[in-house]
Structure 1
Amino acid sequence: MNVLIIHTTGSVGKSTLAAVLLRPRLGAELLSIENSNFGAERYGEPVRLFEAQDYLAYIEQLMMAEGTNTITDVGSSNFTEFVHQMLIVGGLSLFDYVIVPCEKQDRTQLETITTIQTLLNAGLDPSRLRVILNKVSIPTPRRPIDVDFAALFAEAEKDPRIQINPNCYVPTLPLFAHMAANGLTWQNILADKTDYRALVRESKGQGNTMERIEYVTKQLAQGMAAQTIAILDRAFEELDIGPAVITDEAIVVDME
């Protein structure tokens, strides 16, 4: 399976979703079309890097990977050239699914609509399009998700080619800010089986030493990671791109 995750603008969570939602559940190789920003590698993932101007080399690599799951993350700075190259060289049909993330800011919704329409006009089969709503407020009966994404859902009503699953969303996850603030990576957290709660208990009475603070920080990260995995499992199921091949090993931490 080849999956493309793409958007005409940056900071909508493409690389995060590629690294922590898609790759662990597809066992996929990560390919990045980027030349100016950090992508999924900041989560501790190996990434093969290309630029849109190297499109032929990229397509050759994608074809060589036949039989292997791949995820291609296109940076916003390469969006226009990447789409241009697809139009003159081809390659859109190589992707089983094309995922477009969207956040709730009005401008981002409009840019999401532009992204979707650009891809459809380039020949994307609508059945391969998936939209994932990112960093959402948890919907409630009094405030359903289409209230925050009014422009996007209105576009879907006008254009039957655009199908949006209101249950396909990822809420704002504080784990990632915690990781960035403390120099942690997703892979480090998953691999670390240390019982930090026990270490915190053992260090009781030693004051707020740097070592004890580190134990608390990592215990908190493990607990949030366990919750994050469950949330991402649900989002992946709603994305409807097939069964997960590999899943993150659950981290169970007693937070009490």
Structure 2
Amino acid sequence: MKIAVLNYTGSVGKTVIASHLLAPRMNNAQIFAIESTNETAGDLGLDIDLMRGEQFGSLFRDLLILDDAIIDVGASNIEDFLGHMSKYEDSHEEIDLFVLPVIESGKAQRETIKTIQALAGLGVEPKRIQVVFNRVESSVEDEFAAILGYADQSGLFVANQDVAVYENEVFEMLAEQRTTIGAVLSDTTDYRQQLREADRKNKKLIQRLSSMHTLQSLARPVNRQLDRAFAALVGVAATEEA
């Protein structure tokens, strides 16, 4: 599967979605970061190909021979990305899903609708445009009424309330440690035992071990929630294709 993560607005968690929701569940998919200014999956330790929006032709040739890919399009490059995509007839067909992370703010929801309209204008089918409700505090229905209403009104995209990532401090901690949930979960170190054995006078060591144990404890339930969100995301696509 080839998935593009994009939105006209920034700071909605595109790299979080690419790195923590998609990458661990997509068969070692190649990650392309279409970015020039902001954090990418490479900053979290993942292997990426970094390029700019005007290099869509190079990306297109790569997509033709790949089975699995994640294309993380930064807000600073989306205009060039979509503009160059439009020059290659039916090039959007090489991307199975266009995933739009959205957060609660009114500006983010308006810009998400603008992105949906741009994709629809390029001929992308509604079943291949999906939103991911990101940084949800408690209720998708209450926090994203504008998006849900537009989905019902327009029919241009899929807004599945189960495709949601809930607010959690683990993502900030992962960014600080420059790592991913997958890396944390594969780390078999018993930080709790090391804490018990550590010299209490070594404050720096105590802080590091405590942070890593806390990160492991937070990562497990969040990873299970991400499993459910991913299943809902690709489940819609699989149902539509069937």
What are the Cα deviations for residues 76-128 of structure 1, in whole angstroms up to 9, with x where unaligned?
A: 11111111111112311111111111101011000000000110011001111
1:92 to 2:76 alignment = no
Residue 24 to residue 180, structure 1, CA distance change in 2 (3 Å): closer
- The one-letter amino acid of 2:208's match is E
1:153 to 2:133 alignment = no
2:18–2:41 contact (8 Å) kept in structure 1? yes
1:248 aligns with none
1:169 aligns with 164
Aligned residues: 234
How far apart in 1 are the matches of 2:142 and 2:222? 24
Partner SS for 1:77: coil
1:225 aligns with 219
How well do the aligned residues superpose, as a CA RMSD in angstroms?
1.7
2:128–2:157 contact (8 Å) kept in structure 1? no
Structure 2 unaligned runs (5+)? none
2:131–2:159 contact (8 Å) kept in structure 1? yes
Q: CA deviation at 1:51?
A: 1.0
Q: Percent identity?
A: 30
Larger-Rg structure: 1
Q: 1:240 aligns with which of 205, 223, 234?
A: 234
What are the Cα deviations for residues 140-184 of structure 1, in whole angstroms up to 9, with x where unaligned?
A: xxxxx2221121122112112333111210001211212334x34
Q: CA deviation at 1:228?
A: 1.6
Partner SS for 1:130: strand
- The one-letter amino acid of 1:95's match is I
2:130–2:159 contact (8 Å) kept in structure 1? yes
Task: Considering fraction of residues, name the structure with more helix.
Answer: 2
- The one-letter amino acid of 2:18's match is A
* Aligned counterparts, 1:1-256, within 5 A: 1-27=1-27, 28-65=29-66, 68-90=67-89, 91-139=91-139, 145-181=140-176, 183-186=177-180, 188-203=183-198, 206-207=200-201, 209-241=203-235
1:247 aligns with none
How far apart in 1 are the matches of 2:197 and 2:22? 38
2:44–2:175 contact (8 Å) kept in structure 1? no
Partner SS for 1:232: helix
How far apart in 2 are the matches of 1:130 and 1:46? 25
How far apart in 1 are the matches of 2:24 and 2:175? 20
How far apart in 2 are the matches of 1:72 and 1:15? 10
What are the Cα deviations for residues 37-62 of structure 1, in whole angstroms up to 9, with x where unaligned?
A: 22111221100111111121111111
How far apart in 2 are the matches of 1:19 and 1:6? 13
Residue 180 to residue 57, structure 1, CA distance change in 2 (3 Å): closer
- The one-letter amino acid of 2:156's match is R
Structure 1 runs of 4+ with >3 Å offset = none
What are the Cα deviations for residues 209-237 of structure 1, in whole angstroms up to 9, with x where unaligned?
A: 22122111111111111122111111111
- The one-letter amino acid of 1:89's match is Y
Partner SS for 1:170: strand
2:43–2:178 contact (8 Å) kept in structure 1? no
- The one-letter amino acid of 1:201's match is R
Q: CA deviation at 1:63?
A: 1.4
